[in-house]
């Protein structure tokens, strides 16, 4: 029994109750065929609803013995949903900013370095899911190396070409030590629920998710159709906590107990209608419609169907983790401070920084306030620490010591 049969059942019911029979009104043969199909589908639904599901011990009858040491039987958990705090902790710990500063008050290019939301959130190559969970970063406060701070004043210029994801152009008056970002989350969070034979039912809001059977690597879940779109993932686990590969899944629906009871009442009426057609006591579609209208009891106002889904795994399943989305998408903003990447060729240890004049393509040195200590006249400068720099003028590179007081380099070679 699949969803298509259920929809066909509903369509047939509408036809019969509202006179929308297929073919011409006088095609009594088509009306009879519709009635017979409706009866067959209703009987299937009643039989399905009467089927008994029960928790069974896990049994496996594979073509070869199940080997728990065989790595091909297992897969790692490939969907990982982080809480906001976990995500921000990961950003603070593992991700940095890279930037090059031009002359004072020039634009600074700020990019989040390898902030791959897909990888961080464990979504793999699922672009559709990733679009739901990617956080958006907005620069809010500059923290300069001289201890001062200022509003980043970031505004998206709709007239310029769209930048890469989380890449910003900002006006920076001084070398920046770190930047505060407002991180906006618009994605859903999926809460994991654990199901096993000892605890087969879990309440999710006002709904129930239940593991109905578990045998031969096949697991059946049941839950209201209202909950079906919220189930984002179902994972099977072996007893040691390792995840089993899911080889496939299927689903079907069962009507509510009220609707099944109604079907049992109306089937004799439809069978009697076919008998009257055979006896030529009902000779036209409109006569059938009028007869059914006078005989059929009122249908239940709602048919709260139950969804059943089957999941097939490569081996015995000890327990399941079912991920259910929150009722409402998350829409919160939190602040995070992200440090700048301290490349030796860009930032000195004593408060002097290599800077580039982008109009000339030449480099010099600035202090923590962004003032030029060494004018941008050199092809390249590398910060070596200890106020020493590798300075390239033309094609010649030589070690130099910074004389900040006199704003010059001193040649270290004899």
Range 138-157 average pLDDT = 85
Residue 175 φ then ψ, to 5°: -60, 135
Q: Among residues of the chain, what percentage have pLDDT more than 90?
A: 19
Q: What is the pLDDT of residue 300?
A: 85
Residue 165's pLDDT is 64
Q: What is the distance between the alpha carbons of residues 182 and 97, in angstroms, rounded to a whole number?
A: 15
In this prediction, residue 117 carries a pLDDT of: 61
Residue 357 confidence (pLDDT):
80
Average pLDDT for the chain: 77
From residue 269, give the alpha-carbon distance in Å to each of 21, 26, 215, 259, 260: 17, 21, 40, 16, 15
Percent of the chain with pLDDT over 70: 71
CA 66 to the chain's CA centroid: 33
Predicted local confidence at residue 108, as pLDDT: 67
- pLDDT (0 to 100) of residue 200: 92
Examine the pLDDT at 413 and tell me if it is beyond 80: no
Above 60 in pLDDT, residue 7? Answer: no
Q: Is the pLDDT of residue 234 over 80?
A: yes
Judge if pTM exceeds 0.85: no
- Residue 3 — pLDDT band, cuts 50, 70, 90? very low
Contact of 381 with 409, CB cutoff 8 Å: no
pLDDT above 80 for 90: no
From CA 321, how far away is CA 234, in angstroms rounded? 6
- Residue 256 pLDDT > 60: yes
- For residue 202, the model assigns a pLDDT of 93
Chain segment 53-68, per-residue pLDDT in tens: 666 666 656 667 777 7
The upper half-sphere exposure of residue 62, i.e. CA atoms within 13 Å in the direction of its Cβ, equals 14
Q: Residue 10 above 60 pLDDT?
A: no
The per-residue pLDDT for range 262-274, each reduced to its tens digit, is 999 999 999 999 9
Residue 9 pLDDT exceeds 80 = no
Provide the H-helix boundaries in 99-245.
117-120, 127-133, 225-228
State the DSSP code for 132: H
Kindly list the domain boundaries of the chain, sorted by start residue: 3-51+257-295, 84-188+330-339, 190-255+305-325, 353-411
Residue that wins the pLDDT comparison between 93 and 23: 93
Q: Give the pLDDT band of residue 1 (cuts 50, 70, 90).
A: very low
Give me the pLDDT at residue 379, please: 92
What is the model's pLDDT at position 221?
A: 92
Report pLDDT digits (tens) over 101-141. 555 556 666 776 545 666 666 666 666 666 667 778 888 99
Provide the token pair at 210: 């239940």
Please give the radius of gyration of the chain, using alpha carbons only, rounded to the nearest integer.
Answer: 35
Q: What is the pLDDT of residue 115?
A: 53
Handedness of CA 38, 43, 44, 46 (dihedral sign): positive
What pLDDT is attached to residue 377? 92
Q: Please state which CATH class domain 84-188+330-339 belongs to.
A: mainly beta
pLDDT at 329 over 80: no
Please tell me the distance from the alpha carbon of residue 273 to that of residue 296, in angstroms, as a whole number. Answer: 11
Asked if the model's pLDDT at residue 356 lies above 90, the reply is no
Q: How far is CA 271 from CA 7, 19, 75, 398, in A?
A: 21, 18, 53, 101
How far does the chain reach from its first CA to its final CA, in angstroms? 91
Is the pLDDT at 288 greater than 90? The verdict is yes
Band (pLDDT 50/70/90 cuts) for residue 337 is: confident
d(CA 174, CA 389): 20
Q: What is the mean pLDDT of residues 147-159?
A: 80
Distances in Å between the alpha carbon of 83 and those of 120, 185, 350?
A: 12, 10, 39
The answer to whether the beta carbons of residues 392 and 380 sit under 8 Å apart is yes
Q: Which of 11-15, 96-100, 245-249, 361-365 has the lowest mean pLDDT?
A: 11-15
């Amino acid at each position: 029994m699949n969803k298509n049969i259920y929809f066909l059942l509903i369509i047939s019911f509408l036809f019969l109750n509202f006179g929308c029979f297929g073919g011409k009104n006088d095609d009594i043969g088509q009306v009879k065929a519709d009635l017979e199909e409706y009866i067959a589908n209703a009987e299937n639904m009643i039989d399905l609803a009467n089927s008994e599901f029960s928790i069974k011990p896990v049994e496996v009858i594979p073509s070869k013995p199940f080997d728990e040491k065989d790595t091909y039987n297992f897969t790692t958990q490939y969907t990982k949903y982080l809480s906001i705090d976990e995500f921000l902790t990961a950003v603070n710990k593992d991700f940095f900013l890279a930037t090059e500063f031009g002359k004072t008050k020039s634009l600074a290019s700020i990019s989040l370095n390898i902030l791959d939301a897909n990888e961080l959130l464990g979504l793999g190559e699922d672009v559709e899911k990733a679009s739901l969970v990617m956080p958006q970063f907005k620069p809010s406060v500059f923290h300069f190396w001289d201890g001062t701070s200022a509003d980043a004043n970031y505004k998206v210029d709709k007239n310029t070409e769209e930048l890469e994801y989380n890449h910003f152009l900002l006006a920076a008056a001084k070398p920046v030590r770190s930047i505060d970002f407002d991180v906006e989350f618009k994605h859903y969070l999926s809460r994991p629920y654990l199901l096993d034979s000892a605890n087969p039912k879990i309440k999710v809001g006002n709904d129930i998710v239940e593991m109905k059977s578990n045998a031969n690597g096949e697991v059946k879940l049941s839950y209201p159709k209202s909950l079906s779109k919220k189930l984002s993932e179902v994972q099977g686990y072996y007893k040691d906590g390792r995840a089993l590969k899911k080889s496939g899944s299927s689903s079907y629906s069962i009507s509510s107990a009220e609707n099944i009871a109604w079907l049992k009442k109306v089937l004799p009426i439809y069978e009697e209608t076919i008998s009257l057609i055979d006896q030529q006591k009902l000779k036209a579609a409109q006569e059938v419609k009028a007869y059914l209208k006078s005989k059929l009891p009122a249908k239940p106002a709602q048919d709260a169907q139950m969804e059943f889904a089957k999941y097939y795994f490569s081996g015995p399943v000890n327990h399941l983790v079912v991920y259910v989305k929150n009722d409402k998408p998350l829409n919160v903003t939190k602040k995070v401070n992200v440090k700048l990447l301290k490349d030796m060729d860009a930032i000195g240890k004593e408060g002097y920084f290599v800077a580039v004049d982008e109009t000339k393509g030449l480099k010099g040195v600035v202090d923590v306030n962004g003032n030029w200590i060494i004018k941008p006249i050199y092809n390249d400068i590398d910060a070596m620490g200890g106020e020493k720099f590798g300075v390239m003028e033309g094609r010649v590179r030589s070690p130099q010591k910074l004389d900040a007081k006199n704003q010059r380099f001193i040649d270290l070679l004899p």
